[in-house]
A and B are shown apart, each in its own frame.
Chain A
Amino acid sequence: DQQVKQNSPSLSVQEGRISILNCDYTNSMFDYFLWYKKYPAEGPTFLISISSIKDKNEDGRFTVFLNKSAKHLSLHIVPSQPGDSAVYFCAATRTQGGSEKLVFGKGTKLTVNP
């Protein structure tokens, strides 16, 4: 059973507009969430993270929002640029106890059209 779900396999957005990538999780023990970005033929690279004590974290054009009651997080990219075209993975973990796992979603392929 998937604990981290990214229900949209793909998303297409016009350059300059907002990209919103969504992620849902089922394990209420998760308290730390990360987004990774992956270009073809490269490994994932860390983008932004958020702790469950916050509901928002911003880094330049990237903002992650966390809704703990809904077990939902989203990544906003504003404004979107063609170079943002990549696969975005949501990941979650519990910082205390359990194993040393990051649990990943399947990814959402974002295409930003010029």
Chain B
Amino acid sequence: ETGVTQTPRHLVMGMTNKKSLKCEQHLGHNAMYWYKQSAKKPLELMFVYNFKEQTENNSVPSRFSPECPNSSHLFLHLHTLQPEDSALYLCASSRRLERRVEQFFGPGTRLTVL
């Protein structure tokens, strides 16, 4: 248990659906991250938030829309996804936005797009 929770743990959706992934951290951290892990590929950073402000968008398609209402919660809104978007989506947080600082990961949401 890392103090970072993600819901749902599994999600199956059609290409026309709209769904949201939720991440919550109970660690008092100020930075939060979304990562994507596709089969046989490295973990890829998608978005970074620092004190609720987005500081990085790693060229992510607009069908992925992040939202960070406060430092404890992070959402990833999904709309008109493609089958190749099927992957494990991991949320992480860190005490501050500094690259040496350890990131704490949630268990991930396994997403399947039909």
Asked if A pairs with B, the answer is yes
Q: How far is the CB of B33 from chain A (nearest CB, A)?
A: 9
Contacts of B48 in A (CB 8 A): 100
Contacts of B43 in A (CB 8 A): 44, 89, 91, 104
Please determine whether A45 and B99 come into contact, CB atoms closer than 8 angstroms: no
CA distance A103 to B41 in the complex (A): 12
Interface presence of B62 (CB below 8 A): no
Interface residues on B, range: 20 to 34
Interface presence of A32 (CB below 8 A): yes
Contacts of A28 in B (CB 8 A): none
Please determine whether B92 and A43 come into contact, CB atoms closer than 8 angstroms: yes
Please determine whether B90 and A43 come into contact, CB atoms closer than 8 angstroms: yes
Instruction: Please tell me the number of chain A residues within 8 Å of chain B, measured between CB atoms.
Output: 26
- Interface majority SS on B: helix, strand, loop or mixed? loop
Please determine whether B107 and A41 come into contact, CB atoms closer than 8 angstroms: yes
B28-51: which residues lie under 8 A (CB-CB) from chain A?
40-45, 48
Please determine whether A2 and B105 come into contact, CB atoms closer than 8 angstroms: no
Q: Using known A-B contacts A95-B99, A95-B100, determine if residue A45 contacts B2 with beta carbons closer than 8 Å.
A: yes
CB-based nearest A residue for B9: A41
Interface presence of A21 (CB below 8 A): no
Interface presence of A80 (CB below 8 A): no
CB-based nearest B residue for A101: B45
CA distance A104 to B44 in the complex (A): 7
CB-based nearest A residue for B41: A106
A83-110: which residues lie under 8 A (CB-CB) from chain B?
89, 91, 93-95, 99-107
User: Which residue numbers of B lie inside 8 Å of A, CB to CB?
Assistant: 2, 4, 40-45, 48, 55-56, 58, 90, 92, 97-100, 102-108
Given contacts A32-B100, A43-B2, A93-B99, list 20 more A-B pairs with CB under 8 A.
A4-B42, A32-B99, A36-B105, A41-B107, A43-B90, A43-B105, A43-B106, A49-B100, A89-B42, A89-B43, A94-B99, A95-B98, A100-B45, A100-B48, A100-B97, A101-B56, A102-B45, A102-B103, A103-B42, A107-B42
